[in-house]
Chains A and B, each alone.
Chain A
Amino acid sequence: MKKILELKGVTMQFGGVTALDDVNLHVNEGEILALIGPNGAGKTTVFNVVTGVYKVTKGDIVFNGEISVVGKKRWQITEAGIARTFQNVRLFGEMTALENVITAGDVRSKSGFVGSLFGLPRSRREEKANKEKAMELLKFMGIDHVAHKLGRNLPYGDQRRLEIARALGTQPKLLLLDEPAAGFNPSEKVALAETIKKIRDAGYTILLIEHDMSLIMGISDRVVVLDFGSKIADDSPKVVQNDPRVIEAYLGVPADAS
């Protein structure tokens, strides 16, 4: 199986704090990999080093077998094919849902300022194509009925779905979802699980941070567990679930054992 993303001995330090400590992990093409761990384990830090928010202290991150994303600009990483959502929804609130998605298509657009200014045929075609593509994505995520509503006026669930649609708008190969089910009720979670599977089946690879175990067990092909910045488990959901170290990380050690 082809590795689409590989973290090789990644260490991330903030001053004296080590957020990631020599982490090795990889994502196979076409799978749903769940990244779990207690609060502060370094899950979001993984997303941040992969997308270029932070530069790793040590180690290398290889995307798609050849491209090292370390030291690349954020837009270059997006251009290479990595897109993400945010733990706290961060939409462009004063843009419509459709505009949010079209804006994400900027990295794939070619028409320049002159084309936009004079409405040259190529620019017009691209504008039209981008709009259609964005509309398709909204439909895919089931929120096309709010296409012309402002981002900040959308219901919470639609905002979360729009974030995913916007990330897909960059036409990524790898999609990073940071707690997409946060704040969802059980039935919404079930629907989301279906959506995530649908996204995978459409040809995207997904790296997912999530706390909801039933959601993870239901959809992920593999689970990586982080604790205090180190990887403590990397296996199928079933095996990880029964791993004593994972249970210990989540629940602590029984008092009589220490």
Chain B
Amino acid sequence: MTFNLRDKGAELWEKSPKPARVAIASSAMIFAICLPFLGGTFLNTPISSYEAVLVYPVGLFVLMALGLNIVVGKSGLLDLGYVAFFAIGAYTMAILGTTTSLNFWQILPIGIGLAMLSGVILGLPTLRLRGDYLAIVTLGFGEIVRIVALNTMSIGGPNGIANIPTPPKFLSLEYTLQNQKAYYWTVLFLIFMVIWMIRRLSSRRPGRAWESIRQDEDVADLMGVRILKYKIWAFAIGAAIAGAGGVVFASKSMFVAPEMFTLNTSILILACVVFGGMGNIWGVITGAAILAYLPERIRFISDARLLIFGLVLVIMMNVRADGILPRKKREKSLQS
């Protein structure tokens, strides 16, 4: 019998009265909002700028891991080319930001829309494939997007696109290189939105359909669940989230280039999902936060950094193969 943190947590959560839940949820949110001010504590990342690390990789990895979790964790579709949608969002921001007068806030929905559209276009022919075959096709797609960007001179080819405008002032929040807090809060807002969305969808019709597809696709099909439709929705929503992340990323780093969007990133995001606990949003958030933060925190040991990172992964997967907070359906989930 292993101690299951997820179950204990869920049990505690269910037992606590409403005010306590509100208090817990809001203090967690306040803690997340205040994170940029904790740079003076042990959390500080030597060498890299702490506030910048909070935006990328930490914030954006959490966001993307949540998106990929819908595809891999909820619906059981192994997507190895997830970074492609991130790239599409980033290039949308880069191209439209440098060639038109549209600002960040106007480009954000366009980037989300284009990423979503490419998710549907990729999904329509490929989502009939299963398991390993789907993984290989998506892996190919991820590489195609990168290589197309690399070879298209009109979008900078290998040089990428520079001088991407930062977002205009939002209320009194200024988006500058020195003040990364604004970016962090933007990402955090997106993360909150995504958590709300996943929680809503999970407990309703789409969530059940995804769950049934993940557990037994053939039976779901025979029970009348329109599996292709739901898989495409999962793909499109996952892509949209990565697209949003891409737009913020491009505007934050003010520069994009094809080598930012390699297979490594796809694998790393997938690692976040698996490490944290597939299918469980709190696990995925924890996993992504740790895997994104850790390499930056231990940057001072330079060369041994990735070795330790790998070691953590190996140990973790041996000790807790289901992730930090594994998926474990509570038996009373539908009791109102």
Contact residues in B for A90 (Cβ distance below 8 Å): 216, 218-219
CB-based contact A95/B329 at 8 Å: yes
A103-B208 in contact given A78-B222, A92-B215 (Cβ < 8 Å): yes
Residues of B within 8 A of A (CB): 197, 200-201, 204-206, 208-209, 211-212, 215-216, 218-227, 233, 329, 331-335
Contact residues in A for B215 (Cβ distance below 8 Å): 92-95
- 15 more contacts with CB within 8 A, not counting A75-B225, A119-B200, are A53-B218, A74-B222, A75-B224, A83-B223, A95-B211, A99-B211, A102-B334, A106-B224, A107-B225, A113-B201, A116-B206, A127-B204, A131-B334, A148-B333, A169-B223
Compute how far the CA of A78 lies from the CA of B223 in the bound complex, rounded to whole angstroms. 7
CB-based contact B329/A84 at 8 Å: no
CB-based contact B205/A148 at 8 Å: no
Contact of A103 among B200, B212, B331, B332 (CB under 8 A): B212
Contact of A149 among B209, B212, B218, B331 (CB under 8 A): B331
Distance between B72 CB and nearest chain A CB, rounded to angstroms: 16
- The A94-135 residues at the B interface (CB cut-off 8 A) are 94-96, 98-99, 102-104, 106-107, 109, 111, 113, 116-119, 123, 126-127, 131
The chain A residue sitting closest to B329, CB to CB, is A94
Distance between B317 CB and nearest chain A CB, rounded to angstroms: 21
Q: Does A54 contact B (CB under 8 A)?
A: no
Compute how far the CA of A84 lies from the CA of B227 in the bound complex, rounded to whole angstroms. 17
Q: Does A86 contact B (CB under 8 A)?
A: yes
Q: Does A11 contact B (CB under 8 A)?
A: no
Contact mask A35-69 → B, CB, 8 Å, 1/0?
Answer: 00000000000000001110000000000000000
CB-based contact A99/B334 at 8 Å: yes
CB-based contact B334/A117 at 8 Å: no
Distance between A14 CB and nearest chain B CB, rounded to angstroms: 17
The chain A residue sitting closest to B328, CB to CB, is A94
Could you give 9 example pairs across A and B, Cβ below 8 Å?
A53-B222, A74-B222, A75-B221, A90-B216, A92-B215, A92-B216, A95-B215, A98-B334, A113-B233
- Chain B residues touching A, majority SS: helix
The chain B residue sitting closest to A48, CB to CB, is B222
Q: How large is the interface on A (under 10, 10 to 19, 20 to 34, 35 or more residues)?
A: 35 or more
Compute how far the CA of A169 lies from the CA of B201 in the bound complex, rounded to whole angstroms. 21
CB-based contact A107/B216 at 8 Å: no
CB-based contact B331/A127 at 8 Å: no
Q: Does A170 contact B (CB under 8 A)?
A: yes
Q: Does A249 contact B (CB under 8 A)?
A: no
Q: Does A150 contact B (CB under 8 A)?
A: yes
Contact of A148 among B219, B223, B224, B335 (CB under 8 A): B335
Compute how far the CA of A174 lies from the CA of B146 in the bound complex, rounded to whole angstroms. 51
Contact mask A144-164 → B, CB, 8 Å, 1/0?
Answer: 000011100100000000000
Contact of B222 among A84, A94, A169 (CB under 8 A): A84
Contact residues in B for A118 (Cβ distance below 8 Å): 200
Contact residues in B for A104 (Cβ distance below 8 Å): 223-224
Distance between B82 CB and nearest chain A CB, rounded to angstroms: 21
Compute how far the CA of A102 lies from the CA of B222 in the bound complex, rounded to whole angstroms. 14
Contact residues in B for A103 (Cβ distance below 8 Å): 208-209, 211-212, 220, 223, 225
The chain B residue sitting closest to A107, CB to CB, is B224
- The A147-189 residues at the B interface (CB cut-off 8 A) are 148-150, 153, 166-167, 169-170
Compute how far the CA of A83 lies from the CA of B225 in the bound complex, rounded to whole angstroms. 12
Distance between A163 CB and nearest chain B CB, rounded to angstroms: 10
Compute how far the CA of A169 lies from the CA of B331 in the bound complex, rounded to whole angstroms. 20
Contact residues in B for A111 (Cβ distance below 8 Å): 205
Compute how far the CA of A131 lies from the CA of B226 in the bound complex, rounded to whole angstroms. 20
Distance between A111 CB and nearest chain B CB, rounded to angstroms: 6
Contact residues in B for A109 (Cβ distance below 8 Å): 205
Contact mask A187-213 → B, CB, 8 Å, 1/0?
Answer: 000000000000000000000000000
